[in-house]
Amino acid sequence: GENVEQHPSTLSVQEGDSAVIKCTYSDSASNYFPWYKQELGKGPQLIIDIRSNVGEKKDQRIAVTLNKTAKHFSLHITETQPEDSAVYFCAASKSGGGADGLTFGKGTHLIIQP
């Protein structure tokens, strides 16, 4: 089955700096790659996703890049703010994400230092 590796497990950055979280996947048939943010005491919430027919997607301060050849994708957060502190999960799916389960990475605890 699919295996998703995520790095780093903890990332500490100064407020205003950029943060990058990287994931690799094993199944070349995977075609949907969402990123979830989980705040303390809450369930994960989708922040951005990308499908295999696109190489990059951006939404304000958040961007995701996908390299299908290398089977890796990354989350980029620019101009980080205190409210960006959370645990971030990448995931992969072969079915577009809706009707099938997601395979998640182990998570990155992002800490924004004031």
Partner 1 sequence: DVKVTQSSRYLVKRTGEKVFLECVQDMDHENMFWYRQDPGLGLRLIYFSYDVKMKEKGDIPEGYSVSREKKERFSLILESASTNQTSMYLCASSFGTANEQYFGPGTRLTVT
Cβ closest to partner 1, residue 51 vs residue 58: 51
**Closest CB 61 distance from partner 1, rounded Å:** 19
Residues 6+ apart with CB under 8 A from 96: 31, 32, 51
Cβ closest to partner 1, residue 70 vs residue 99: 99
**Closest CB 100 distance from partner 1, rounded Å:** 7
The Cα–Cα gap between 35 and 37 comes to: 7
What residue ranges bind partner 1 (CB under 8 A)?
1, 6, 9, 32, 34, 36, 41-46, 49, 89, 91, 95-107
Residues 6+ apart with CB under 8 A from 45: 36, 37, 38, 39
